[in-house]
Amino acid sequence: MTTRPNSSSSTHSLHSSRGYHLQQKMAPYLFISPFLLLFAVFGVWPIVKSLVLSMYATSGPKDSVFVGTQNYRYLLADADFHTAVKNTVVFAFWSVVLQLPLALGLAMLLSRRWVRGRNLFRLAVFSPYLVGQVFVGVLFSVLFIPQYGLLNQGLHATVGLPLDTKWLADPALVMPALVLTALWLYTGLHMIYLLAALQAVERELYEAAQVDGANATQQFWAVTVPAIRPTLIYVLIMSTIGSFQLFELPYIMLNNTPGPNNSGLTIVMYLYQTGFVTGDLGYASAVGWTLALGVLLISLVQLRLTGAWKAREA
Amino acid sequence: MRSFRFPFGAAAGCILALAVLAGAWLAQHPIERQKSTLTLWTFAPTHYEAYKEAVPSFEKANPGVKVDLQLVSGPAVTSRLQAAFWSDLDVPDLVEVPIDFAGTFFRGRLENVGFADLTERIEQAGLMQRMVSSRFSPYMSRGRIFGLPHDVHPVMMAYRRDIFEKEGIDADSIKTWDDFIRVGRKLTVPGKRYMLELFDTRDAHLASCLFQRGGGYFTPEGECILDNEISVQTMLWYVPLVAGKDKISNNLGAGQVLTKAVEDGYFVCLLAPDWRTKTFETTIPRVAGKMALMPLPAVEPDGRRTSTWGGTMLGITKSSPDQDLAWKFALHLYLDQQELGERFRGTNIMPALRSAWDQPAFHEPRPYWNQQPIGAMFAKLAPQVPFQYTSPFITTAKAKLGEALVACVQYYNASGDKGFEAFTRARLKKSADELRTLIRRNPY
C-alpha cells in the first residue's frame, strides 16, 4: 500500500508557513503599537494641536478666533516676553559658566584615590538634587530672608553687607539669587556624569603622557578633556536646555510671582502665566513654539561649536 | 481536536487576557459618583474652618443634601478651576476665588464664562441694598455680576501702642497722612526701626493708597487708568515713603520674618485690613495687648479714613446641576447673621451683609487690640470702602503697576526729586500703554 501525500496536511503546512511569515512580519509592529498609539495621542497630537492653537487668540477652548501669525508678530513687540528671554538667557549663561567648571573640578577632585571619604563627599554634593527643586526653593527662600536670614547675617558679619539686603525683592539681586540656588542644586548632578566619564578614561593614556613629559595641565587638556568630551557636550547641552526650561525655582522662591520688575520672569513662567492665569492658550502656544525653536537653534549651535558633529563623522 | 495556541506566546496571551478581563470588570463596575450633592472649593483655611461649622445646619434644613467642602491651595485654585472649566470635568458647584484673579475668569464671550450670571438673583434678593454695594464691582463684567462678595475688607492702621506711648505720641492726633508722616520722621531710625511696613516692589499697598484716593486699575467699562492724574499723584506721594534717604517705610516679607520684625519693633505701624488683624493675632501672639488699631490717615482733612485690600467672591458654576440649591447654600453661608457673628470671632473678617454688623460679636472688646471693639471700628469704616473695578487683564495690570513702582523707586533712589515727576508720568504711561496694547488684542 502506497501512501499518497496528504493534500490537506500540505495545505495546512503551507498555510502555517504563510501565517508564520505574516506573524513574523506583524509581530514587531504589534509590539510597538501600544507605544506608537500612546505617543500619537499624548505626543504627536498635542504638538500638532499646539501649533494650530498658536494661530488663534483664545480664551480657553471654547472661545477661539483665528489670527494667523499675529501671536508670533506680537511676541516680537511684547516687552514682557523680551524680559523673559533676557532673564532666561542670563540665567542659562551663568548656570553653564559656573556649574560646569565647578562640577568638573569636583568630579576631578572626588575621583582622586587619595581623597578620604570620597564616597561620602560624592553623596553630599549630589544630595541637593535628590530633594528636588521645590524643597530647595523653599530652603533658599528662608536663607535669603532679609534682616534675619542666615545668608544676610553671615555676609553682614563678614563683609558688612546691610542686614536688610533683599535678595528676592531687589530686581538687581533676584537673578544672582536664582543662579546661586541652581548652582547648589545642579552642580552635583553634573558632577556625577563627569565622574563617570573620568572613571572610564584609561590610565595608560596618562602614563603615556607622563612618559612624554606632560605636566598636569597638559594632561588635563590633552588627555582628560578629549576623553570626556562627549559627556561634557552632553552635560553642556542638557544644562542649557534645562536652564531654558526654568520654572519651579523662581515660581517657589518668588512666591508665585515673576518677582520685582519681572526680574525673575522666565520664558516658561511667562508661558504659564499667559496660558493658565490670563487664559490665552493661543499666545502661550506661540511662546512655547518659539522657546522650542530657540532651544533647538542654540543646541545646534553648541553642537557645531563643540565639534560634536565632526567627531561623529570621524 | 486541535488545541488553540496564541500566536505570540503564552505570556503575551496572558497579558491580553488580563487586559480584556480588567477592562470588562471596569466596564461592569464604574466608579461611583461622589454622593455629595454640592461641592464647594475654598482657598482660605479660615473660610474652610468656618464653613465646616455652617454645613451641618444647612444639611439639616435640606434633608438628603450632602455638602463636600474642599480646601484648595490659594495659588492652585485659579489654575485648577481654569482647567476644570476648560475640560468641563470635576467642576465644583460653588467656588471662592481671590479678588485679584476673579477678573481673569470673565475673559471671552459672556455665554462662555464658566460662572453663572447672578445678576437677577442678586436683584431679586435685594442684596445690592443689603450688602456693601462697592463690593460687587470687582466681580462684574459687562454689567453682569458673577459672584457674591464674601467680605468688605476695610483697611485700618495697626500700630505698636507701647512704642507710641513710650515716644509720647497720641494716635488720636493723627488725622491725615501728613500727620502720620510727621510722626514717622520722628520714629524712624534707618536700618533699625521704620514707621510703616510698605511694599516697594509689589503693587498691593500702593493699590490700597490708590483706592483710597478714588483711583484704581480700571474704569467700570474696563479701560486702563494706570496713568491718570490720581495714579501719578499717588505714585509721587508714595515713592518718597519707601525710597530715598528720608524714607519712613520698609518691607521684609511675610511669615516668620514679619513676626520677628513686629516683635522687635522694627515696624511700628502696619496696614491692617480686617483679615490681617487675625493673621497678626495668630502669628504674632507675643505682642498681644501692645497692639491697637486706628483709622487710616486721610489724604485730606475729613477725607476717607479707610481703603481696601484683598477680597473673595463666591461664584456658582454653570456646570452645577442644581444652581438653585447652590444659590440657597451661598445665601446660607453669606446671609445667616448668627453664623456670620460666630465667623467674625474666628476670622475678624467683616461680612458684606450690613445687618450682620449688629451682632454682639462685632462689639466685643479684643484683648489683643488693647480691648478695642475692632468689629465696631471696622463696621464704622466699612460703608466708606472705595469701589474697585476689574477686567480679564487684572493680573497684568497689577504686574504693570508693580513694574512702574520698581522703576520709580530706582529712579528716586538714584536721582531724588530731580525730574521725578516727569519720570513718573512717563513710566506710568509706559505701563498703561503696554496694558492697553494687550487689551486691544482681545477679540471678544
Domain ranges of chain A: 72-313
pLDDT at A13: 57
In a domain, B233, yes or no: yes
B443 vs A65, A80, A261: nearest CB: A65
The whole-number average pLDDT for the span B77-85 is 88
* Helix-helix angle A171-199:A118-131, to 10 degrees: 130
CA dist list (Å): B239 to B142, B218, B421: 34, 21, 11
Stretch B146-158: mean pLDDT: 97
CATH code (residue B301): 3.40.190.10
* Mean predicted confidence (pLDDT) in B333-340: 92
Number of domains chain B is built from: 2
**B81-92 exposure pattern, b = at least 16 Cβ within 10 A, e = fewer:** bbebbbeeeebb
* Longest CA–CA separation in chain B, Å: 108
Give me the pLDDT at residue B1, please. Answer: 52
3-class DSSP assignment, residue B154:
strand
Q: Of A101, A123, A99, A119, which Cα lies nearest the Cα of A111?
A: A119
DSSP designation for B287: G
Alpha helices of chain A — where are they, by DSSP H? 7-39, 45-53, 70-77, 79-109, 118-131, 133-143, 150-159, 171-199, 203-211, 216-219, 225-244, 248-253, 267-272, 281-305, 308-313
What residue in A sits closest to B7 (Cα-Cα)? Answer: A23
- Band of the pLDDT at B35, cuts 50, 70, 90? low
DSSP state of B220: T
Query: Is the pLDDT reported for residue B13 higher than 90?
Result: no
| B362 within domain boundaries | yes
Residues with Cβ within 8 Å of B345's Cβ and at least 6 positions away in sequence, in order, are B361, B364
* Structure confidence by residue, pLDDT tens digits, B109-146: 888 899 999 999 999 999 999 999 999 999 999 999 99
Do B170 and B289 reside in the same domain of the chain? yes
> How many other CB atoms sit within 10 Å of the CB of residue A267?
25
B333 and B392 inside one domain: no
Neighbours of B11 (CB within 10 A): 9
Q: Which of B71, B132, B67 is nearest to B326 (CA)?
A: B67
Pick the more confident residue, A163 or B184: B184
**Which pLDDT score, from 0 to 100, does residue A313 have?**
55
Residue range B280-299: mean pLDDT, rounded: 97
Cα gap B404→B412, rounded to integer Å: 12
If DSSP codes are grouped into helix, strand and coil, which group holds residue B318? coil
pLDDT attached to residue A2: 42
CA–CA separation, B105 and B108 (whole Å): 8
Query: Is B341 in the same domain as B245?
Result: no
B7 → closest Cβ in A23, A148, A277: A23
Q: Cβ of B200 and A169 within 8 Å?
A: yes
pLDDT grade, residue B58 (50/70/90)? very high
Question: Cβ A278–B444 below 8 Å, yes or no?
Answer: no
Query: For residues B300 and B213, what is the distance between their CA atoms, to the nearest angstrom?
Result: 10
Residue type at A235 in one-letter notation: V
Mode of pairing for the β-strands spanning B194-197 and B291-295: unpaired
CA distance B133 to A9: 92
Residues B100 and B199 in one domain: no
Look at A277 and B101 and tell me if their CB atoms are within 8 Å. yes
Is any Cβ of chain B less than 8 angstroms from the Cβ of A163?
yes
A277–B78 C-beta distance less than 8 A: yes
> Phi then psi for B322, rounded to 5 degrees?
-130, 80
Q: What is the DSSP string of A95-125?
A: HHHHHHHHHHHHHHHTT-TTSTTHHHHHHHH
Chain A residue with CA closest to B77: the answer is A277
Shortest CA gap B205–chain A (Å): 14
- Could you tell me if B296 and B305 are in contact, meaning their C-beta atoms sit under 8 angstroms apart? yes
Residues B163 and B302 occupy one common structural domain: yes
Q: Is the Cβ of A168 closer than 8 Å to some Cβ of chain B?
A: yes
Could you tell me which residues are beta bridge partners of residue B307?
Answer: none
**Do B269 and B208 belong to one domain?**
yes
Final residue in a domain of this structure, among B354, B379, B404 = B379
pLDDT reported for residue A10: 54
How far apart CA A7 and CA A17 sit, in angstroms, is 15
Q: Are B414 and B244 in contact (CB under 8 A)?
A: no
pLDDT at A306: 79
List all residues 6 or more positions away from A91 whose beta carbon is below 8 Å from its beta carbon: A175, A178, A179, A182, A243, A246, A266
A-chain CB neighbours of B399 within 8 Å are 258, 262
B86 — pLDDT class (breaks 50, 70, 90): confident
Yes or no: say if B381 and B375 are a contact pair by the CB < 8 Å rule: no
Given B379, B400, B429, the domain boundary residue is B379
Strands ordered across the beta sheet of B94-98:
B67-71, B38-42, B94-98, B312-316, B148-149
A162: contact with B, CB 8 A cutoff: yes
DSSP label at B351?
P
Specify whether B147 is located in the same domain as B186.
no
Mutation target to probe the B interface, by most B beta carbons within 10 A, among A30, A49, A140, A147 is A147
> Does residue B195 contact residue B188 with C-beta atoms inside 8 Å?
yes
pLDDT of residue A60: 72
Does residue B385 register a pLDDT over 70?
yes
Nearest to B107 among A59, A70, A163 (CB): A59
Q: Which residues pair with B155 in a beta bridge?
A: B273
Residue B348 in any domain: the answer is yes
- β-strand A56-59 against B94-98: which pairing, if any? unpaired
Q: CA B179 to CA B248: how far, in whole Å?
A: 13
B41 neighbors B95 (Cβ within 8 angstroms): yes
Grid cell locating B166: 513710650
Report yes or no on B270 lying in a domain: yes
pLDDT of B323: 94
Residue listed under C-alpha cell 518718597: B240
How many CB atoms are located within 10 Å of the residue A60 CB? Answer: 20
Which residues does chain A have within 8 Å of residue B107's beta carbon, measured at their own beta carbons?
A: 59-60, 63, 278-280
**The three grid cell numbers given for residue B142, joined into one nine-digit string:** 459687562
Q: Is residue B227 part of a domain?
A: yes
In this complex, do A164 and B250 lie within 8 Å of one another by their Cβ atoms?
A: yes
B82·A60 Cβ contact <8 A: yes
Q: Give the DSSP letter string of A121-165.
A: HHHHHHHHHHH-HHHHHHHHHHHT-TTT-HHHHHHHHHH---TT-
Whether residue B403 and residue A67 make contact (CB cut-off 8 A), yes or no, is: no
Distance CA A79, CA A70 (A): 16
CB A262 within 8 A of CB B403: yes
Q: Which residue of A has its CA nearest to B408?
A: A261
Cα separation of B428 and B230, whole Å? 11
Confidence of residue B296 (pLDDT cuts 50, 70, 90): very high
> Does residue B426 share a domain with residue B298?
yes
Q: What are the two backbone dihedrals, phi and then psi, of residue A56, each rounded to the nearest 5 degrees?
A: -120, 150
Q: What mean pLDDT do residues B2-31 have?
A: 83
CATH architecture of A72-313: Orthogonal Bundle (1.10)
* Residue ranges of chain A whose pLDDT lies below 50: 1-5
Nearest to B75 among A62, A149, A256 (CB): A256
**In which domain, by residue range, is B102 found?**
38-152+310-379
Measured between alpha carbons, how far is A272 from A287 in angstroms, rounded to an integer? 10
Residues B112 and B175 in one domain: no
**Quick one: pLDDT at residue A115?**
85
Which pLDDT score is estimated for A58?
85
**Is B28 domain-assigned?**
no
Under 8 Å between Cβ of B269 and B287: no
- Residues B172, B148 share a domain: no
CA dist B4 and B427 (Å) reads 81
Cell numbers for A249, please give them: 525655582
Cell numbers 544672582 correspond to: A176
What confidence score (pLDDT) does residue A116 get? 87
CA distance B333 to B314: 10
- Could you say which of B347, B363, B379 is where a domain stops? B379
Region for residue B427 given its phi and psi (left: phi exceeds 0; alpha: psi -120 to 50; beta: otherwise): alpha
- Counting residues of chain B whose pLDDT is more than 70, the rounded percentage is 97
Distance CA A13, CA B7 (A): 15
Instruction: Please indicate, yes or no, if residue B60 is contained in any of the structural domains.
Output: yes
Q: Does residue B200 share a domain with residue B113?
A: no
Beta-carbon contacts below 8 Å between A and B: 110
User: B258 to chain A: which residues are within 8 Å by CB?
Assistant: none
For residue A154, CA distances in Å to A46, A231, B254, B391 come to: 49, 37, 21, 45
Helix (H) or strand (E) holding A64: strand A63-66
Q: Across chain B, what does the average pLDDT equal?
A: 93
pLDDT on residue A19: 74
Secondary structure (3-state) at A67: coil
> Does the structure show a pLDDT above 80 at B233?
yes
CB B150 within 8 A of CB B331: no
Same domain, B265 and B364: no
Q: How confident is the model at residue B243 (pLDDT cuts 50, 70, 90)?
A: very high
pLDDT of the residue at A5: 47
Say yes or no: A276 contacts chain B, CB-CB below 8 A: yes
